[in-house]
Structure formats: C-alpha cells, structure tokens
Structure 1
Amino acid sequence: MTDPTPARSAWHTFLDQQGSHLPPEAGAALPDNFVAALNDLGLISLTGDDAASFLHNQITNDVEKLDLASVRLAGYCTPKGRLLATFLMWKDAGQIVLQLPRTLQPAIQKRLQMFVLRAKAKLADISEQRVTLGLAGNAAATALQQWFPQLPAQPYGKTDNEHGTLLRVADSRGAPRFQWITSEEQAIAAWPALTQKLAVAGAQAWRLSDIYAGVPTITQPTQEQFVPQMINFELIGGVNFKKGCYPGQEIVARSQYLGKLKRRSVLALVADGQVAAGAEVFSSEDPGQPCGMVVNAEPAGAGNSACLVEIKLAAAESGSIHLGSVDGPALQLQALPYELTDPQ
C-alpha cells in the first residue's frame, strides 16, 4: 500500500522551524481569523483531450461546463450510489484538479485510472508540487489582498495569478474562507506576513471550520456508508441531477425523486473530545440499534467535539441522541448554516 505520509520537503522543514506543524493547543477553541497549512490534503491532476469528458462520466457534478472562475464540490460513488470520496474540484489552464484527503488519494486515483481505458486522459499525483494554505475569517480577506487584489466575491469562486490559485470555499461561522494553492517558495515567502495578521492553526482547525460550515468529507471510516443526500451533499452544490450517467447515478436520482428523504446530516456538539468518524449514535426511542453515524468530528474546545452526524430524521425529531450507546454522551443539536429541504 502506498504510504500517504508527505515526504519531507522545504515546506515541511520550514514549518518545523516555525513550530507551525501542529495546532497551538490540541482541541483549543477555533480562532476567529487563522491560517493553517493543509498538508493532509492530496491533489490529483487530470490532463489530456478527454480529461473533462472522462471525469464528467465518473463523478456527481458537471465537469464539462466547469469554468476557470469556479470551484465545485463533487462525489465519487460506487455502482450502489455510496460515496467513496468527496472532492473539491477546479480547472486550471490545461488541467482539472481534484482535492481530497491525502489518505484516500492513492486508492481513489488508482480506481479512477482503471476506467480511463482508451480515453486521452492522464492522472497524476501533484500533492508534493503544491502547498495548500487554509485562511479563515474576515481578516483573511485583508491579509490576502497583498497577493490577490481581486478576491472571489462569493463562495466557490476562483481566481488565478502569478502567485497561485485562490479558491473561496463555503463560509463558516458567517465569515469567508479561502484556500491558497501555490508553490513552496511562495508559501514560505508569504508565511511571515500572513502570520502577523492571522493566528496560526493546524489542519484540525480547518476541518473544524468545515464542520461548522456543514461541509462533509468522506474519510476511510465512512467510505461506502452514505448516498450523497444522506450527508446533505446536493444541498451544498455537490450533485448535478441534469448531467449524464456516472456510477451510482440511478440510485442517487431515485433517492432524490422518490418520496421524502428519511436521513440527513445534522450539526451537533458532544461532551467527548475523542469522537471519531464512523462512530454510531443511538436514539433513546429505539436504543437497540443505531440511528446514525458520525461523518466528521473534531475537538472544539472545553472538552467538546463538533460533529456532522448522519441520522434518521425521525430520531432527531423525537427523543435524545447519544454517542456510542443510549447511555453515552448526549448530542446537542445545533443549527446548520443552510436549511434541510426535501427534493422538489
């Protein structure tokens, strides 16, 4: 099996010297404005004349109409419609880039490669050729303007210049968030100025901000567990129901159009700082069997964890929900930044 651990590089050596490779305090409260090195993310590049059409036929979102000023979410499903991975996807001049957890990247790239066949498409791991910085908070926009005078005005916008690629992703806690994908040299040069204006945080803080934004990420413990709608993926723009076929498309479409959805993901706090993705949750109304599963979880300060939890909606609306067993810590449901709506 390919080792997903990043090789030591000038960037990693620089972060070690800065003391910035770990969060200041594990489980500390999330800063309002921060910058983090997102070394846990992998990047797959697709190039070639058929790259867009090949990928369009594999994932849940439209690739052929993806423009240079946009970034999109997308999922990769089994033939049974269960998610193997979730991506952030964008197009540069000459390539399409998929971003996903580095722990999944080798296996997902290998699986996609199996279906290239005669298509003129080449997949490459470019994770070590780029540095990804996550910047969150209202001060992040000000900090970035030295390199990007024109920032993307809305979430899921994108801009490119000589300093790299800037993606605006979903807002979190009412404030903008950005990813800056750039070279090691540019990241090292920019780090001192960024950290004068923004708190230094770890990748855990970025993942926590994703949870507060209601944006799920499939990881190894949750592969093949969820149809996209079970993690609200179509609500946040990760599924296009008008595009052509892809693996699992019939089941995803059936889930959308045949009746009311019975399972969704909710945001919750729980008094347990060690919650992990894949953990089961139980309802006091039906303690004998799990009613859902933790999709993502991160320490959120004061001994708590913030979680996205896939759950039977009927269970969420009646009784209490508990982690691990009906005797486990109770989940305190929180408001998501978007409404849980049924298909129209």
Structure 2
Amino acid sequence: MTNWYQSHAFNRLPLSSDSALPALSVIALDNLSLITAIGQDTVPYLQGQLTCDLVSLEKTRSTLAAHCDAKGKVWSAIRLFHHNEGVAYVQPASVAEKQLAEIKKYAVFSKVEFALSEQILVGIAGEKADSAVESRFTGEGDVRTTQTGSAVRIDKNRWLLAMNADEADTLLTELGERATLSDSSLWTLLELRSAMPAIEEANISEFIPQSINLQALDAISFKKGCYTGQETVARAKYRGINKRAAYLLQGEAAEAPKAGDTFDRSVGENWRTGGTVLSGYRFEDGQALALVVLPNNLDDDSQFRLADTEALWQKVDLPYSLEDDA
C-alpha cells in the first residue's frame, strides 16, 4: 500500500452547503482502487463480463459500466478506459479485492492478466481544472495519455488522473499554491452532485444496474452480445421488472449517511422503510446529501428521513433524466 497520500497535506475542506468550491483542487483519491487488465484477450473477455460495449469504446473516451453476478446484481459500478498497454478501471477500494477475485475467476482460460495497480489516483476539479489538465496533457478527447498513465475527464472541469508517484509529485509542484489540496471527501461531494452511483462493500450484489441509474448514464449496452447477468438486465428494460431508482436527497444529519444506511419514506400519513444509501456527504452546517435507492413510483410530495431520526429530507433534481428513450 502506497504512503504517497500521507506525504502530502490532503485535508478535508471545511465546506458549508452554500460554500463556493476552490477554483482549482487536487484531490487525493485514496478511497478508490485502480485495476488494470493487459493481454490480447482483454477486450473480448471483459466484453463478456461487463454491461458496457468495450469493443466500440474509443481510446479517447471512458465509460461507466457494471460488473454483475449471474443474477444480474451489481458487484461493482466502474469507470473504465484505455490505459497504457491495456485497459483500466476505478471503483471504491472497499470492493476492489472481492470484485477483482470475481472478475478474474474465468480468466485462466483467456490471455488476460488483472492486477491491483499501485499507481496514484488524484482528482483535478474546479473552474480552472480543464485548462490546468489540457495545458499539461496534449491530445483530443476525454482520455489523454500522461507520461506514466492517463488523465480521464469525468465532467466539465473534473478529471481523474492515474499515474506514477514521481509524475504526481511533479504535477503538485507545477500547480503550486494555485491549487487547494483536499482529501477524498470533496470527490465524494462532486460525485454526489453528479448523482454518480458507487457500490461500496455494504451494497455488493444488492441491486440490478437500472436500480442505480446506470442505464441513464450510458453504462449499459442493450445491443452487444451476452455477458454475465444480461438476462436480468434485459428483462428489466423490456419487461419493466425494475421497480427502483437512485435519487438525490438533501436534509439535516448529525453525520454523513454511509453506504448501506436506510431511509424511511412517507406514504400518506405513515412511514415505510424502503431506501438504501449508496453514498453520502455532510457539510459543516449540518446539511447533508445522499444518493439513495428508492421505489421508482414515488409521489411528488414524498418526504424522507434517515431511519431512527426525525429530520425531514427532500428530493433534489437529478442532473440527468431517468426517462427511457427506447
């Protein structure tokens, strides 16, 4: 395990719910793990394991994807991209070892090697992030080659970098005092505001991909060939069996909601348990955000509360549509 993150002053930023974010931040992504896959069978092997269409993935693009079990339940939601001599993907560190063991289970029959990478993962975010990254790593598109790794655009003015420690040190030196260093909590906040789902250890094999909105994020190909869990995923689309979705909620909390926590929802004058937290963040003023899997037939005036608490939470508009265009 690298101690690179501990050798730099990555601290939690004291943000309130109305705080302006720094114009340029370098974020320690030690809460994520990088898995690499190399070998001539990498693409066909992963094509049969993941929900995305890796065959058509351009080298200048990244994609979200789900790795499912045979029943179509999600082991992990990943961000995948071409990287060095093969491909790589990032996911929460809490699921990395279990997910890696599962995805390489049948790789003995293919020419592909998986590894848990020791490269450094950092985020670059803020209104000056695009210019800071694009001035250092030339090329076109959302995935660019660095000296030792890759720079991957996640959103406008938000990048994920995977590189060796020496290159990461050089980047910090070049950015100097213009950049604020932050721990991974800032990345969690940015992921929440983008309503990007993550599967932590507490939620492994609990949800099908559509229950965490992956169809709305172009993470599922319904035109590719077979892959593990495809039957369930296709049935959810074409037969309407999925009854859940991930929603962004906001309210007061004594501490940040964490993966696996439960929410109650109002049904008339009563309350029912029925929400599972994917991720959460708490501001210094007590306001909090959470991405929560809930029934997808909620009333517009539904209210919510964390289990065993009284503070009421409300839905926040998602930054994308859950309507099925097909």
TM over 0.5: yes
Q: Equivalences for 1:159-178 in 2 at 5 Å?
A: 159-162=144-147, 164-171=149-156, 176-178=157-159
Counterparts of 1:103 and 1:246 in 2: how far apart (Å)? 24
The Cα offsets for residues 299-343 of structure 1, whole Å up to 9 and x where unpaired, read as 234112211111113335343222115x53211211111122135
Q: Which residue of 1 aligns with 2:201?
A: 220
Counterparts of 1:231 and 1:135 in 2: how far apart (Å)? 25
Alignment partner for residue 260 of structure 2, among 255, 273, 278? 278
- Classify 1:253/1:32 alpha carbon distance in 2 versus 1 (closer, same or farther; 3 Å): farther
Counterparts of 1:165 and 1:252 in 2: how far apart (Å)? 31
The Cα offsets for residues 77-115 of structure 1, whole Å up to 9 and x where unpaired, read as 111111110111111342111211122111111111211
State the one-letter code of the partner of 1:49: Q
Q: Which residue of 2 aligns with 1:342?
A: 324
**Aligned CA-pair RMSD:** 2.2
- Uncovered stretches (5+) of structure 2, i.e. residues with no partner: none
1:123 CA displacement: 1.0
Kept after mapping to 1: 8 A contact 2:84/2:149: no
Instruction: Report which stretch shifted further, 77-86 or 278-287.
Output: 278-287
- Give the 3-state SS of the residue equivalent to 1:308 in structure 2: strand
Pair 1:324-2:313 in alignment: no
Pair 1:264-2:245 in alignment: yes
Identity %: 23
Q: Which residue of 1 aligns with 2:287?
A: 304
Counterparts of 1:221 and 1:284 in 2: how far apart (Å)? 25
Kept after mapping to 1: 8 A contact 2:247/2:294: yes
State the one-letter code of the partner of 2:323: T
Kept after mapping to 1: 8 A contact 2:15/2:283: no
Q: TM-score, normalised by structure 2?
A: 0.91
Q: Equivalences for 1:179-258 in 2 at 5 Å?
A: 179-258=160-239
Pair 1:131-2:112 in alignment: no
- Uncovered stretches (5+) of structure 1, i.e. residues with no partner: 1-5
- Give the 3-state SS of the residue equivalent to 1:234 in structure 2: helix
Q: Which residue of 1 aligns with 2:277?
A: 294
Kept after mapping to 2: 8 A contact 1:291/1:315: no
Alignment partner for residue 50 of structure 1, among 34, 41, 44? 41
Counterparts of 1:81 and 1:45 in 2: how far apart (Å)? 23
1:150 CA displacement: 4.7
- Give the 3-state SS of the residue equivalent to 2:235 in structure 1: helix
Q: Which residue of 2 aligns with 1:144?
A: 133
1:253 CA displacement: 0.7
Q: Which residue of 2 aligns with 1:3?
A: none
Counterparts of 2:296 and 2:6 in 1: how far apart (Å)? 47
Pair 1:100-2:85 in alignment: no
Counterparts of 2:15 and 2:2 in 1: how far apart (Å)? 23
